[in-house]
Structure 1
């Protein structure tokens, strides 16, 4: 691999476009001076922002595009209107043509997944890609997938996600055999739908060299950090993600109201300011911003659409790490020895649905 990490940015993606992407790229460049950017978007908006950032400008090349995928576009609409011409497509295509090592976008998740799958294709034997995110826990962080790429999963799909998630965890946490758990309604082997029980049996019997299968985990185990990797299908994963985000906001609002309730509580806040600051940093969603699309022939990172510059920089950081520590080759190596589930198709039935039917995180 080159000594440089080339990252293609969909500069027009997200709620704020270049006004967040360009400052975020600058922040990431200060942390990783060996990044070189390919910036896709409206030159008239990008170049004035680069003019005040000479170091970023020197590390970037701008490619003008007129078409922007809107945040409310359906995936099929985005493909029809933006294929081959939009900033999102061109960023992904730079990975496909090997001009970039990674693509990062804060744009429409459904469109990004659809374009990435059409352009990059899935790895051999992988029916559908999954979105993996870093989840803050009491022990640090865990990898959780799928958090919204598609609905439903066969046992084989769950096994494949376990193998891919473990490969990502090895990079992020520097663990030889990350612990993996299947999200279920209970930890007992008799509980859950058949697909989850079959996947659990296959992982247990396989004793895969790239992961340590823990067994079933429940929803409250995610935040406790019981395992390094939590595997579930996209419908449940997306609900879990949004519930956790909402609970964090609810807790922060409760805390704010309690602090402002009386003069004594305000004094207590001043005395415990360092503790509250540590709590705020722990719950800061920007630090774990960036969903990794696993199962594609290329590295694609999805940033939250409403993030700020620091949050977008975190998404770029994740993309950098996935490239620098060779995510794709690690996944391919793990897939070579993945267990097979007898009698189950590799591609889940839901994969036959139109692209617009796939439910993805916003």
Structure 2
């Protein structure tokens, strides 16, 4: 079965065209139903495609005369969206020329362009950035928001939970994902009024949805395997994500240094190599690449800027999976099931809490 074309911002990322095209080619070799719209400098894309005839046969090139740099502010990116590879890839989704867009470029710019071009789904105030994180359990977990919204109210958190649960059901196959709010403790009295109001409303919303709301979780328990969706604001989520990634790099570097410290350690490394390779696989961000802007009228996937070809291929696979399982329709159905009145009640409850505290 052929899927709608996936628009790839070929100029995004730290390396640019070569890695983006290699990643798309790898995704195409894995799944011959993928077709692509490669957006960027036409001559550079054509040169990169010389080594990938299979991808060339399944792709169309859309020339973009301009690119967005990592230093560009979202406002600058918006003004130049119509001529940049990132903007033209997202606009291809808006126009129906592609089913999804994948970019490894500037995150803030991609969010701004995607939100303006695609708009949010009915019932969603703000889109959220969601990603998969490895755990000690059988499945990866979905965490959101990871930086799109630095400040959130209770209504936003409830919406994020609904979107995250829908995403989790697609990528993990779970019928009722376990959802928790990130907090400084697991007790009901812990945290801000916003968190407590959101928790109360999610208890009632969960009855209408295919998800299990289990209260709060702390940051040190994120990867233990006892939660499937972790919900937080973008400020806390971005800090937590970078702490997890930094710890993973620290452990990997510490092991590398330890194994190189002596001849005995080097022999120990050879003996334990199967275990260390498994650890390396779990800690490699390329194996979990592909964050998603949830809540838009279209699929947009953000790849790590430093992703290699494997990472880009995984980001493309995420986009294809969401197209195949029609994520936006699932989120819209869940929102309708909960009802706008319930979400409006969230804001009234939050205001009442604030006035009571005053």
Q: Which category describes the TM-score, using the shorter chain as reference length?
A: over 0.9
Q: Secondary structure at the match of 1:223?
A: coil
Distance between the aligned counterparts of 1:345 and 1:72, measured in 2?
Answer: 40
Distance between the aligned counterparts of 2:150 and 2:97, measured in 1?
Answer: 33
After alignment, is 235-244 or 334-343 more displaced?
Answer: 334-343
Instruction: Compute the displacement of 1:95 (Å).
Output: 0.6
Instruction: Compute the displacement of 1:106 (Å).
Output: 0.3
Distance between the aligned counterparts of 1:4 and 1:267, measured in 2?
Answer: 49
Distance between the aligned counterparts of 1:94 and 1:47, measured in 2?
Answer: 20
User: Partner residue of 1:5?
Assistant: 4
Instruction: Compute the displacement of 1:268 (Å).
Output: 0.9
* Structure 1 residue 40 corresponds to structure 2 residue 43: no
Distance between the aligned counterparts of 1:261 and 1:58, measured in 2?
Answer: 50
User: Partner residue of 2:169?
Assistant: 170
1:5/1:34 contact within 8 Å kept: no
Runs of 4+ more than 4 Å apart? none
Uncovered stretches (5+) of structure 1, i.e. residues with no partner: 349-362
Uncovered stretches (5+) of structure 2, i.e. residues with no partner: 352-358
Structure 1's 106 and 343: CA in aligned 2 closer, same or farther, altered over 3 A?
Answer: closer
User: Partner residue of 1:224?
Assistant: 224
User: Partner residue of 2:112?
Assistant: 114
Matches within 5 A, 1:47-62: 47-62=46-61
Matches within 5 A, 1:1-362: 3-80=2-79, 82-139=80-137, 140-206=139-205, 207-338=207-338, 339-340=342-343, 342=345, 344=347
Number of aligned residues = 345
Q: Deviations over 1:49-106 (max 9, x none)?
A: 11221110000000111110111101011112x2211111110011111111100000
Instruction: Compute the displacement of 1:341 (Å).
Output: 5.1
CA RMSD across the alignment:
1.5
TM-score (norm 2): 0.94
Q: Deviations over 1:175-214 (max 9, x none)?
A: 1111100111111111100111001001112323221111
Give the structure with the higher percent helix. 2
1:178/1:210 contact within 8 Å kept: yes
